[in-house]
Structure 1
Amino acid sequence: MRKEDQLLGVHHVTAMTSDAVKNYEFFTKILGMRLVKKSVNQDDIYTYHTYFADDLGSPGTTMTFFDFPNNPKGKKGTNAITRTSFRVPNDAALEYYAQRFQEFNVKYQEITTEFEQKVLHFWDFDEQAYQLISDETNSGVKAGIPWKKGPVPEKFAIYGLGPVEISIAYFEQFKELFEGVLGFQTIKHEGNRYLLEVGEGGNGGQVILVDNQTSPQSQQGYGEVHHVAFRLANRKSLAVWQEIFTKLGLPNSGYVDRYYFESLYVRMGHILVELATDEPGFMGDEPYETLGEKLSLAPFLENRRTYIESVIKPFDTKRSE
């Protein structure tokens, strides 16, 4: 495979929330991530799709959410994406957030070290599992830009996605998919936890695979992750990967235009993996100053805007004066 077609790192993680408004407040007011797009699920217009990222919505910095109506609470277990990481610039940022979580009554654990990096585990109101990971000794995939007008000082603020944790009961077969197909390399392991990386590596290009044959089967629902996406440079690379997946007999979506990026989805066991392009990004339909303040729709949905706005519950995300 040509180098330009290889995966570049983590692109985004998409999860499910029970409440889009509470989720917005948690991510912007507590975590200090910027809402760069408020849209609807392109396959289910009755569902919000919100995107939280760095100051510019840079690739590799975005956490997104669906609020599916009548979605039950998910069940923790194996064969699932079990934790999402956010990168912060240094160890001092972990101390800052620990104090912040205490102030806002966010559930968290003491700072610890995993794979020689300091991390801070925490959970939101849906019991969605996250961690902050320090970039103090990190190198590899470049981070983004902290939200310049956010509530968290830039020197401490979240500015990218870190390793995505995936727990699997059929560990060896799944690990072979990530290594033999997607091009990840195992670089460390601690007990039943294995650290894999791709592209330039480092916190922005890693996954943690957990060999978990004892927990019950997880169930999708709010508080759980829907899928993980990895970065590709452009659309030409999507065609290369579609051919690979098809030849291997891996179920895939074919080309999908998500407007903010172009995508290809593939099912690897229980895990839905998306490959998404860095281009065109989130800056094309809104000015920088008011990103995320209006309901943004892909062009093919614009002629239904009046109807969509009448059936989806509005919520105020206006921050500019």
Structure 2
Amino acid sequence: MNDRDDLLTIGQLADRTGLPVRTIRFWSDIGVIPPTCRSAGGYRLYDAEAAVRLDLVRTLRELGLDLDTVRKVLTSRCTVAEVAQAHVRALDVQIRSLRLRRAVLRSITRPESTTEEMILMNRMARLSARERQRMIDDFVDRTFDGTDAQAPGAHIAGLMRGLPELPDDLTPEQAEAWLELADLVADTGFQESARRMAVAGSAPENASRQPLPFDSALVVEHAGSAVAAGVAPGSAEGRAFLDRIVDPALPAEDRGRLADEVETFTDRRVERYWQLMGVLNGNAPFAPVAHVFEWFIAALRASGN
């Protein structure tokens, strides 16, 4: 501009932009909005473009950019798009952290929550996705170590590794599921039980064995009905339910062997593992059946005596 009468004093610039004089003066002092020139008395004067630049500075500051980054944008050392992309990535991390923190806080509002649970929940929530996956992978590696990778049940190892990235909008149920899962894979008893299943499932003799002499669907149906009705496994009524699942003529010795085999693959903790994985993967919940097979096992043993 050539006409100094068109220049604005810092007060006039403040009136035009709605920004406080002290803010404009500070930004001017640090070189974000330098004055166009100075008056004969040494006062700062700004052109009309300064008002546009001030609006941009205000917008960038409200978006969370620091003044050094704003200065780089205004001096064309980086573009607004580049800055925005960097801040989107940073905000994604912050949002995820806040959502995890919210989930933790929600979960510990339960009256039964303990200080230990609160600390553990917070620690688990802060683990990276890689650290969480490593916990699961270490458990699966120990469980299937040395077993036949070509065995019929070997694919279960892959399924057991299926820990998803925790969703951005983590629910309290998912936060609690992750906490319980982490606690479960660290449990020695659970590790031993899962190992027994893996070894038994990959044993060479199991590849050519005959199908088990019962239908799992019948166990769920009839043993489930017995459990729901409170029928004791060793009672006469319990025997009637059992006869609907296995051949009543099945010898006592075979009943005992069958009970041992079914017991090898029956553990409420393993079933809970799959339930927790389902919660984390957003799958529809499934009804637990391990307790039904426990009744079936007890009934087989009682009928074999």
- TM bucket by the smaller chain? under 0.3
Q: Report the structure number with the largest CA radius of gyration.
A: 2
Scaled by the length of structure 2, what TM-score is found? 0.23
Pick 1 or 2: higher relative contact order, CA cutoff 8 A, min separation 6: 1
More strand by share: 1
